Amino acid sequence: MTFCLNTTIVKPEEGEEIKNAVILLHGYGGDGKDISMLTLNWKRFLKNTVFLCPDGHETCPINPVGFQWFDLSKDDENYVLNEAHKAENIINKFIEEIKDTYNLKNSQICISGFSQGCMMSLNIGLTCEESFSCVVGFSGKIISKDDISLRLKSKPKIMLIHGNLDEVVSPNYLLDAKDFLIRNKLNIQTLMIENCGHHIPIEASSAALNFIKKNLKTPLLKFSLKYRFFSLSGFVVALMLTISSVQGGIIGLDFFPTIASDIVTIDLKMP
């Protein structure tokens, strides 16, 4: 199926049935390919999950090869809010297409985003009729608390992550959002990362992955819980065999994406 938004799609391994979806919304001036780099690590731990990374519906005026979810050229709160509402309608249509294509419900979908994408994730996650599995936001904020207060319909589990040195979106917005969400009785977790600017470091990516794993109920997890004794026994046997066959030497591999200012780079380190 062709979606209403141009989308980078990362599917599970061949033969694995799709049981969940993670939607990743890029930041201002970025695109779906940029933020899809997060899936290089995430997909190894989120089996039966399809990752969908759409491009924004508008070309970004300051980066013609990138996109935006709403225009920031005017310093007018009402204008920005109206543009964000337009983007909501388009993204909601996109989500309905995903649900139809993969036969999923909101409870099987995590919606996440960076910077402007985080803002859209919060707007959509808090105003939909049916709660998403969870919402994860990096380096963003609530666009308008007054607007959300009037339209608040669902209360998904939320994780917000921010760098304490963010020079683009002030880290104070994380504290502000946390206070607002707690007052509205939402389940909210936050992580302020030290010495971090406007990007997604390894610590943020790992924390988000663990949160999503905890909230997306995968068939593998259910199987492991049901047969946890046998799974643990098998793991111990495999570990003993590995130890007995390896006499020495350590191999280390760091393969995590880093997203900085909506542009993604990958650090690959091998000894």
Please identify every residue annotated as catalytic: 115, 166, 198
Q: How many residues does the chain have?
A: 271
Q: Where are the beta strands (DSSP E) in 96-156?
A: 109-114, 134-138
DSSP SS3 for 222: helix
Taking a C-beta distance cutoff of 8 angstroms, is the pair 20, 46 a contact?
Answer: yes
Instruction: Report the alpha-carbon distance of residue 35 to residue 43 in Å, rounded.
Output: 13
Taking a C-beta distance cutoff of 8 angstroms, is the pair 201, 258 a contact?
Answer: yes
Which residue type does 25 have? L
Instruction: Report the alpha-carbon distance of residue 46 to residue 20 in Å, rounded.
Output: 9
Instruction: Report the alpha-carbon distance of residue 47 to residue 240 in Å, rounded.
Output: 26
Retrieve residue 183's tokens: 């007052």
Count other Cβ atoms within 10 Å, centred on residue 65: 9
For residue 141, which of 126, 121, 164 has the smallest C-alpha distance? 121
String of DSSP letters for 146-161: HHHHHH-----EEEEE
Residues contacting 11, CB < 8 A, separation 6+: 18, 50, 51
Chain center to CA of 133: 12
DSSP 19: -
